[in-house]
């Protein structure tokens, strides 16, 4: 699917490649990107405890809480260290105009 969409010819920085990158490289880049966005968002929320962070990210970074949303929550939970204390960080995601493929995990 990614090959048909032409996604494997473009790097995260927007550089157009002569040949498709491997899916492993694409996936690794996407994971690193999601982790960086989640980490930066989490760091900002720690430094601005009364602040409001709103992230406008693409659907592939938010679906099924496997991208930025889930990674941000993992950082919150890790920081709490299994504590019974409730975190003040509220982590919500909203998909705008989702398609069926955006809302139903594969195999469902």
Task: Report the C-alpha gap between 105 and 65 in whole angstroms.
Answer: 11
Yes or no: say if 53 and 41 are a contact pair by the CB < 8 Å rule.
yes
Query: pTM of the prediction?
Result: 0.70
Q: What is the mean pLDDT of the chain?
A: 80
Task: Report the C-alpha gap between 75 and 73 in whole angstroms.
Answer: 5
Instruction: Work out the pLDDT band at 84, boundaries 50, 70, 90.
Output: low
Judged against a pLDDT cut of 80, whether residue 53 lies above it is answered with yes
């Amino acid at each position: 699917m990614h090959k048909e969409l032409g996604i494997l010819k473009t790097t995260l920085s927007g550089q157009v490649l002569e040949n498709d990158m491997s899916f492993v490289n694409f996936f690794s880049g996407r994971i690193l990107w999601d982790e960086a966005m989640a980490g930066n968002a989490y760091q900002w929320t720690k430094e601005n405890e009364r602040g409001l962070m709103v992230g406008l990210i693409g659907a592939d970074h938010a679906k099924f809480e496997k991208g930025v949303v889930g990674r941000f929550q993992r950082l919150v939970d890790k920081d709490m260290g299994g504590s019974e204390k409730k975190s003040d960080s509220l982590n919500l995601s909203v998909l705008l105009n989702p398609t069926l493929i955006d809302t139903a995990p594969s195999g469902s």
